[in-house]
Chains A and B, each alone.
Chain A
Amino acid sequence: MATEILARRKMRISRSGLTGLVIVIFFFLLAVAVWAGWAGQNWSAADGERWASPGSTWWFGTNQLGQDIFERAVYSVRTAFEIGIVVSLLSTALGAALGAVAGWRSNTLADGTVLWLAGVLDSIPFYLFVAAVAFALQGLPWAMHVAMIATFWTATARLARAEVMKIKSREFVLSARAIGLPSWLILMRHVLPNTLHILLIQASISFVAAIKTEVILSFLGLGVQDGVSWGLMLAESTQEVLAGHFNNFLAASIMLFLLLLGFNLLSDALQDSFDPKQAAL
């Protein structure tokens, strides 16, 4: 079905892009199943024996508390998607808004302020900054989200600014003014829609970045507070691996690897199909 829609829209997608799409859709459905309460609900119950091997009862085995690793790994898909969606949507929206204003009013105070702010945020080592914000807002369930949104918007803002500056010198913008549209409406109606392809790709990139960052922060104990995530599973497994039990470690790593692989393949394919220079080849 996906190929049909793409074909109708005259978009080409490579085989690897399609693989990525299938993987992402599979994980998304899994996340929906967790949200709906059909799967992964027993992630916290410690009702098995310690370090059971994978089998028909415990598909991926159990951890050192006797919790079902499969349930935990599946529930973590929900955590990953929740963070990915919230962070990528909000950081892309923030970046697009600030970047668009900066580009539209280039070489003004507004532009300078946005660039300065982005420069300052970019100059702080990324994980240090995110960790500092997450630490400062500790206790708030949204601390990690805020930290990521506060840093992820800069790349989107720079891209949006450059694209808006390019588009605003195009003749259709002049022609929109000749027709009598006010400035802000031209920005909303004619300039921003022309940057959507970039924003879509940026959103897919920050989705991946958000999931990776969540894992690292959770591993460091600054991430997910209530619930479970692949990062928390990896943190648990540091003890287990030393004792020779790899189930927790493998389950979290492989799931993370597959989802990121799928997303990277998909965003590469998106990038290719939106690039007019590639399309001409």
Chain B
Amino acid sequence: MNQPALRISKLTVKSTLEPGAPAIVSEIGFDLRKGEILALVGESGCGKTKTAEAIMGLLPASHWQVTAGAIELNGTDCSDLPPASLRKLRGNEISMIFQEPLTALDPVFSCGHQVSSVLRRHLGSARNEARDRTIKMLQQVGFADPERIFRSYPHQLSGGMRQRVMIAMAMSCRPAVLIADEPTTALDVTTQAQVLDQLTKLGREYGTAILLITHDLGVVAQYADRVMVMLDGVIVETAEVENLFKQPQHPCTRQLLSYTTGAVA
């Protein structure tokens, strides 16, 4: 527990299209400990998703200027790594799940093909071996008939099923860090619980640290260990989940809580 799975310091994201505008994310820093679930909450547009995309290195340099003191993955700084080495880390050491399961899978390939191609790419598995591992993976995210899901195309599956395929894909290489960007916002409450249960169970099993981005404090209370509150690109409060709900420090946190519980702050 001494070395964090992911350490971010002084991460700033600016739009290059509006040079004068304030930074979308300004000088944030945090540690994601090994195996923990850290929630990042905040209202829409406060910079949660941009933080995640900046960490993953997904923001095109033509539109976004990303500067960071350090982005350390298991102790190695990857903020100045060349693109080719970064690609080796992505999907392997650090993965991401997106908000919209409906569009996050390629419609022209079967789900099995998409999951196993990750294994073949990063672990160099042979076709049959990747197939077997994919089916095992699909079983682990809760599919009773993984063989059928392997052959299915995304449009044949429901939103919750697709999100579980995404989880299988993101977790297939047993990454050290998983960034889940509002993984259940597009799903109904029951499916949401199932998907999050699978996700956290797999995370514990593999020792994967999860950065859970959400605006749902109910989800935070149930699944997260610690929580960070973001407002206008700045992290205003970090706390253990229990403490946050008992003694919210920042007015923004209190406001968020009041919307969820209906209590007057």
Q: Do A and B come from one complex?
A: yes
Q: Tell me, rounded to whole Å, the shortest Cβ–Cβ distance linking B246 to chain A.
A: 36
Cβ-based interface call for A182 (8 A): yes
User: How long is the Cα–Cα vector from A196 to B107 in the complex, in angstroms?
Assistant: 12
Q: Are B96 and A175 in contact (CB under 8 A)?
A: yes
Q: Are B122 and A180 in contact (CB under 8 A)?
A: yes
* Among candidates A176, A177, A178, residue contacting B106 with C-beta atoms closer than 8 Å: A176
Q: Are A170 and B103 in contact (CB under 8 A)?
A: yes
Cβ-based interface call for B151 (8 A): no
Cβ-based interface call for B121 (8 A): yes
Contact flag A175-B87 (CB < 8 Å), given A170-B103, A194-B106, A194-B107: no
User: How long is the Cα–Cα vector from A190 to B108 in the complex, in angstroms?
Assistant: 8
* Among candidates B89, B99, B103, B105, residue contacting A180 with C-beta atoms closer than 8 Å: B89
Cβ-based interface call for A181 (8 A): yes
Cβ-based interface call for B90 (8 A): yes
Cβ-based interface call for A254 (8 A): no
Q: Are A181 and B121 in contact (CB under 8 A)?
A: yes
Cβ-based interface call for B104 (8 A): yes
Cβ-based interface call for A193 (8 A): yes
Q: Are B90 and A175 in contact (CB under 8 A)?
A: no
Which residues of B lie under 8 Å from residue A226 when comparing CB positions?
A: none
Cβ-based interface call for A136 (8 A): no
Contact flag A179-B89 (CB < 8 Å), given A172-B103, A172-B104: no
Q: Are A177 and B100 in contact (CB under 8 A)?
A: no
Q: Are B90 and A177 in contact (CB under 8 A)?
A: yes
Q: Are A178 and B58 in contact (CB under 8 A)?
A: yes
> In this complex, which of A171, A181, A193 has the most chain B Cβ atoms within 10 angstroms of its Cβ?
A171
What sequence of 0s and 1s flags, for each residue 79-98 of chain B, a beta carbon within 8 Å of any chain A beta carbon? 00001101111111001101
Number of A positions contacting B (CB below 8 A): 16
Band of interface residues on B: 20 to 34
CB within 8 Å of B: which A133-180 residues: 170-172, 174-180
User: How long is the Cα–Cα vector from A175 to B108 in the complex, in angstroms?
Assistant: 15
Which residues of A lie under 8 Å from residue B66 when comparing CB positions?
A: none
Q: Are A180 and B106 in contact (CB under 8 A)?
A: no
Q: Tell me, rounded to whole Å, the shortest Cβ–Cβ distance linking A97 to chain B.
A: 19
Which residues of B lie under 8 Å from residue A196 when comparing CB positions?
A: 108
Q: Are B56 and A178 in contact (CB under 8 A)?
A: yes
How many A-B residue contacts, CB cutoff 8 Å?
57
Cβ-based interface call for B118 (8 A): yes
* Among candidates A171, A179, A193, A194, residue contacting B118 with C-beta atoms closer than 8 Å: A179
* Among candidates A170, A179, A193, residue contacting B90 with C-beta atoms closer than 8 Å: A179
Cβ-based interface call for B169 (8 A): yes
Q: Are A178 and B95 in contact (CB under 8 A)?
A: yes
Q: Are B108 and A174 in contact (CB under 8 A)?
A: no
Q: Are A178 and B90 in contact (CB under 8 A)?
A: yes
Q: Are A171 and B95 in contact (CB under 8 A)?
A: no
Q: Are B104 and A175 in contact (CB under 8 A)?
A: yes
Cβ-based interface call for B166 (8 A): yes
Closest to A174 in B: B58
Which residues of A lie under 8 Å from residue B166 when comparing CB positions?
A: 175
Which residues of A lie under 8 Å from residue B90 when comparing CB positions?
A: 177-180
Which residues of A lie under 8 Å from residue B91 when comparing CB positions?
A: 178-180
User: How long is the Cα–Cα vector from A182 to B100 in the complex, in angstroms?
Assistant: 22
Q: Are A175 and B121 in contact (CB under 8 A)?
A: no
User: How long is the Cα–Cα vector from A175 to B87 in the complex, in angstroms?
Assistant: 12
User: How long is the Cα–Cα vector from A149 to B91 in the complex, in angstroms?
Assistant: 41
User: How long is the Cα–Cα vector from A178 to B89 in the complex, in angstroms?
Assistant: 9
Q: Are A178 and B96 in contact (CB under 8 A)?
A: yes
What sequence of 0s and 1s flags, for each residue 163-183 of chain B, a beta carbon within 8 Å of any chain A beta carbon? 000100100000000000000
Which residues of B lie under 8 Å from residue A194 when comparing CB positions?
A: 106-108
User: How long is the Cα–Cα vector from A9 to B105 in the complex, in angstroms?
Assistant: 21
Which residues of B lie under 8 Å from residue A182 when comparing CB positions?
A: 83-84, 87
Which residues of B lie under 8 Å from residue A181 when comparing CB positions?
A: 87, 121
Which residues of A lie under 8 Å from residue B92 when comparing CB positions?
A: 180
Closest to A193 in B: B108
* New A-B pairs, 14, CB < 8 Å, besides A178-B58, A178-B90, A178-B95: A171-B99, A171-B103, A172-B106, A172-B107, A174-B104, A175-B105, A176-B106, A177-B90, A179-B169, A180-B89, A181-B121, A182-B87, A193-B106, A193-B109
Q: Which chain B residues have a beta carbon within 8 Å of chain A's beta carbons?
A: 56, 58, 83-84, 86-92, 95-96, 98-100, 103-109, 118, 121-122, 166, 169
Would you list 14 pairs from A and B whose C-beta atoms are within 8 A, ordered by A residue? A171-B99, A174-B98, A175-B98, A175-B104, A175-B105, A177-B58, A178-B98, A179-B95, A180-B86, A180-B90, A180-B122, A193-B108, A193-B109, A194-B107
Q: Which 9 A-B pairs have the closest CB atoms?
A: A179-B91, A180-B90, A180-B91, A180-B87, A178-B96, A171-B103, A171-B104, A172-B106, A193-B108
